[in-house]
Structure 1
Amino acid sequence: MNVAEWLARSGRKYPGHPALFSGAQQIADYRGFAQNAAAIGAGLREHHSVKPGDRVAIFAKNTPAYLEAMFGAWFAGAAIVPINAKLHPKEAAYIIANSCASVVFCTAPLGAELTGALAQPMPVLIDLAGVDFEALRQSQPLAAHVAREGSDMAWLFYTSGTTGRPKGVMISHANMQAMVFSYLADVDAVHASDAALYAAPLSHGAGLYCLQHVLKAARHVVPLSGGFDPDEIFALARSLGDIHMFAAPTMVKRLVASARELGETGEGIRTIVYGGGPMYLADIVEAVEVLGPRFCQIYGQGESPMTITALDRASVADRTHPRWRERLASVGTAQSCVEVRIVDDAGNVMATGETGEILVRGTPVMSGYWRDPDATAAALRDGWLWTGDMGALDADGFLTLKDRSKDVIISGGTNIYPREVEEALLTHPGVREVSVVGVPDAEWGESILAFVVTDLDAPPDAAELDQHCLGSIARFKRPKVYRFVSELPKNNYGKVLKTELRRVFADEQAGS
């Protein structure tokens, strides 16, 4: 079933329910939301030859039109390629080319920046605030969305690997439906009176969470800022009430700090789902103390989006269980649509409490990586997704993350992969070798530390390397700290020992 069916149903059953908001101002009810999406779908088919299974990319900041474009593409039978608006235009251009997207929805100034990075033949660029998008809205709406099978791709999400270029994770309509059912069963209820607040990027988990709110004919609110601003969030919550939002741990930390400073209690906020990175135990304890029992936690990956484990509101708020601290430091128990196990390198199931790699299988798990059979075979084995994350299950089924076998750095809830930062730095003529690691950061969860071996004939400084990075990678991927060293520690095979680099940093911190 095409997930666009849920919007079509809500448009018929609840036509007058408020749907889309820009800040506190309603701009569409469900009849209008559904009709606009059906019209955009028709326009994509008639004017841009979008066929079922084609890819439509969105490289845009949060706006209500983002949701219309997304459902419009689904009405046309296309698959969405969501692209983080913080990416460098060269990075976005690679994703667009690799996915073979024929149409790209964008917002200013991203569209103009993208134009110079795209190769020929150019896809069609449509500004979500421009006349071309308005023309799509004015098309004669499709009488019905294009039928799709559950196995057909709906969401092609690019997640960087530890080697090579980003990989496209193929998420089907059935995968997304299972994600919605798991949310309603394991995370939180959704009612028509609720409002999904999109303070986190719609290109990631926050965008996927629009589906359960469409299914229940709830409201969709995009802050006027288009992003995360604690003062704005508190004001919208008081004005609109029953707010739901997804937030990375660093966002929760900033929200709590602002609440303490301003004396806010979280009035109007019903649920904050946190995930996307490690949450320190002290931080979530403080969050509940300041804002009350409004928090739920999820753990997932792009390959099983938002759907591996969950810690519900009662578990996050519980202070009576004898092991409540251990449970609160976990990422919860397996969600209803999946199985989770811990294995050793050979795939043998580990005993309770032992640490190994986390495996997951179930309906939400991806079908594979886009046009990458080798990566698919490595990640999906005997029906199980090998997550690359390390963890342990306790006797009650609570999963605690221990480490990541992959070297991904999670900063502010966003995945950053050392290889792409290293490759950017290595293009500087004064850099001979480099190794990038993630180190603990009280505000962002992790920050990026680069160990650099320079060419003694032309040694660059940190400011020069910082500026150099801006030429090829997103601003948020730049190292926060540089360490200039004479050599990198390596094993007998010449592989850099990143564990040793982290130890060096830890020793420095202990010494200070």
Structure 2
Amino acid sequence: MPNEAAQREPVGDLAMIVGTGGTTGKPKGVMLTTRNLETMTAIVLMSYPFEGWPVYLALAPLTHAAGVLCFPILARGGEIVIMPQPDIAEFAVLLERHRVTHTFLPPTLIYMLLGLADLDVRDLSSLQCFWYGAAPMSVSRLEEALHRIGPMMAQLFGQTEAPMMISTMSPAEHFLPDGSIAVARLASAGRAAPLVTVAVMDDAGRALGQGERGEIVVRSSLVMAGYYKDAAATADVNRFGWHHTGDIGYLDGEGYLFIVDRAKDMIITGGFNVYSAEVEQSIMRYPGVRDCAVIGLPDAKWGEQVTAVVQIDPAVPVDVEALRLFVKRELGSVKTPKVIEVWTDLPRSKVGKVLKAEIKRDLLGR
């Protein structure tokens, strides 16, 4: 009989090759090892509530976040309910019917869920953990979700190269000790996950201090083995011995990580840095706005002009000039969009991320 231990797959062997989202360029193949998946599973089980046998509802594509989250559910011997088609109304029905304990949606789909007329009559008491991530979520809509869906919203921040769990924020962390909502914390991406070291770095590889903005970098057994057949890209993303996420952010005094923008989405107008995510948060606070995207377009005078495309609730009229003044009062004139367009919908990837590159191509092609 062959030695059983010798037949086991060595820890660290390639487990899967996963495509990046392609929202900032041509997709790359991310090589994930068994150790990456074991680390991710351990982080999930350490960071979020799991009582009894979990029931997980998967709506988003299993090729991305919704699929990776199946691993910790399976590790607990849980049940996975898979939706063959994305239908947010059916999603709400299935939450109740299957007594779902865990699920995941990107913010855009949570906004659609909050728009359901019958959401408030659904029995969602079985939910222990409703993960959100893959894109920044509006603080005002997150507050609404905490009231209407319940105190089980749970954030995760990661990327294909460091699957899902660079930082975490459990349901309990959304609240202060007195039971009130921790509003200031809601704009964060949580704190560094167990088994993960997070830092903020400048372009020269210098670690930055509390409150200083720079690129978010990571060290962990969570980080991929590299990009498939792309040694140059692998070397570039591992500069200075850290994995570079491509996200700009800072750490506060309590260790909470705040993501202010993707490095490629930052707008430079009149010599000032404008973080599109900050402008999007302001726009999303305006009544009637369902979703939005802020980009920079070439401008002869300013270098780039801040431009916003918004999707509105058809039942709530939105005055564009009033919206512009609202943003100006909150953020000042430099960060206020020079142009605001209203679209019936925004182009999105299969996982619900708004495709800013497509929006920019459309506007530049006119």
TM-score, structure 2 length as denominator? 0.72
**Structure 1 match to 2:54:** 194
Matched with 1:212 is 72
Match among 244, 247, 255 for residue 389 of structure 1? 247
Structure-2 separation of matches of 1:396 and 1:321: 19
**Contact kept? 1:237, 1:267, Cα under 8 Å:** no
Residue 407 of structure 1 deviates from its aligned partner by: 3.5
1:508 and 2:339 correspond: yes
The answer as to 2:14 corresponding to 1:153 is yes
- Bigger proportion of residues as helix: 1
Asked if 1:166 is matched to 2:24, the reply is: no
Secondary structure of residue in 2 paired with 1:196: strand
Alignment partner of 1:234: what SS?
helix
1:352-396 alpha-carbon deviations (Å, 9 max, x no partner): 111111001101001111111111111012431111101110111
Q: Within 5 A, what are the aligned runs for 1:276-425?
A: 276-318=134-176, 320=178, 324-407=182-265
Aligned equivalents of 1:207, 1:289: Cα separation in 2: 27
Shift of 1:208: 0.6
2:169 and 2:220 mapped to 1: Cα distance?
19
Contact 1:234 1:267 in 2 (8 A): no
Q: Tell me the alpha carbon deviations over residues 18-69 of structure 1, each in whole angstroms, 9 at most, x when there is no partner.
A: xxxxxxxxxxxxxxxxxxxxxxxxxxxxxxxxxxxxxxxxxxxxxxxxxxxx
Say if 1:151 and 1:173, in contact at 8 Å, map to a contact too. Answer: yes
1:91-125, CA deviations, whole angstroms, 9 ceiling, x for partnerless residues?
xxxxxxxxxxxxxxxxxxxxxxxxxxxxxxxxxxx
Unmatched 5+ stretches in structure 1: 1-142, 409-436, 452-487
Instruction: Provide the residue aligned with 2:360 in structure 1.
Output: none
- 1:290, distance to aligned residue in structure 2 (A): 0.9
The answer to whether the Cα contact below 8 Å between 1:168 and 1:370 also exists between their aligned partners in 2 is yes
CA contact (8 A) 1:260 1:290 kept: no
**CA 1:326–1:221 in structure 2 vs 1: closer, same or farther (change >3 Å)?**
same
The answer on whether the counterparts of 2:158 and 2:164 sit within 8 Å (CA) in structure 1 is yes
User: Separation in 1 of the partners of 2:8 and 2:249?
Assistant: 40
Provide the secondary structure at the position in 2 that maps to 1:283: helix
My pick for the range that moved more, 261-270 or 171-180, is 261-270
Q: Give the corresponding residue for 2:355.
A: none
Provide Cα deviations, 1:457-488, integer angstroms capped at 9, x if missing partner.
xxxxxxxxxxxxxxxxxxxxxxxxxxxxxxx4
The one-letter amino acid of 1:150's match is V
Structure 2 match to 1:14: none
For the residue of structure 1 that corresponds to 2:254, the secondary structure is coil
Pairing 1:135-146 to 2, within 5 Å after superposition = none
1:229 aligns with 2:39: no
Structure with higher RCO (Cα < 8 A, 6+ apart): 2
Structure 2 regions of 5+ residues with no counterpart? 267-275, 309-333, 342-366
For residues 317-340 of structure 1, the C-alpha deviation after alignment (integer angstroms, 9 at most, x for no partner) is 447489922212111000001100
Task: Note if 1:252 corresponds to 2:113.
Answer: no
How far is 1:446 from its partner? Answer: 4.1
Query: What is the Cα deviation at residue 252 of structure 1?
Result: 1.6
Could you tell me how far apart the structure 1 residues matched to 2:181 and 2:94 are?
Answer: 36
Q: 1:331 to 1:239 in 2, by over 3 A?
A: same
SS of the residue corresponding to residue 265 of structure 2 reads coil
Find the aligned partners of 1:370 and 1:383 in 2 and give their Cα distance: 19
CA distance in 2, matches of 1:297, 1:353: 21
- Partners of 1:154 and 1:197 lie apart in 2 by 24
Q: Which residue of 2 aligns with 1:107?
A: none
The offset of 1:190, in angstroms, is 5.9
Give the aligned partner of residue 203 of structure 1.
Answer: 63
CA offset at residue 215 of structure 1?
1.2
Does 1:489 find its partner at 2:299?
A: yes
Could you give the per-residue CA deviations for residues 251-288 of structure 1, whole angstroms, max 9, x where no partner exists?
A: 22222222666533524333210001111111111101
- Which residue of structure 1 lines up, in the alignment, with residue 347 of structure 2? none
The 3-state SS of whatever aligns with 2:95 is helix
Shift of 1:344: 1.2
Partner of 2:311: none
Task: Note the aligned Cα RMSD (angstroms).
Answer: 3.2
How far is the alpha carbon of 1:498 from its aligned partner?
4.8
Percent of pairs identical after alignment?
31
Partners of 2:65 and 2:191 in 1: CA distance? 19
SS of alignment partner, residue 148 of structure 1: coil
Q: Is the 8 A contact 2:49 2:128 kept in 1?
A: no
- Counterpart CA distance in 1 for 2:129 and 2:25 is 38
CA deviation after TM superposition for structure 1 residue 245, in Å: 0.7
For residues 268 and 306 of structure 1, the distance between their equivalents in structure 2, rounded to whole angstroms, comes to: 24
Q: What secondary structure does 2:144 align onto?
A: helix
1:448 positional shift: 8.0
Structure possessing the higher radius of gyration over alpha carbons: 1
Q: How far apart in 2 are the matches of 1:501 and 1:333?
A: 31
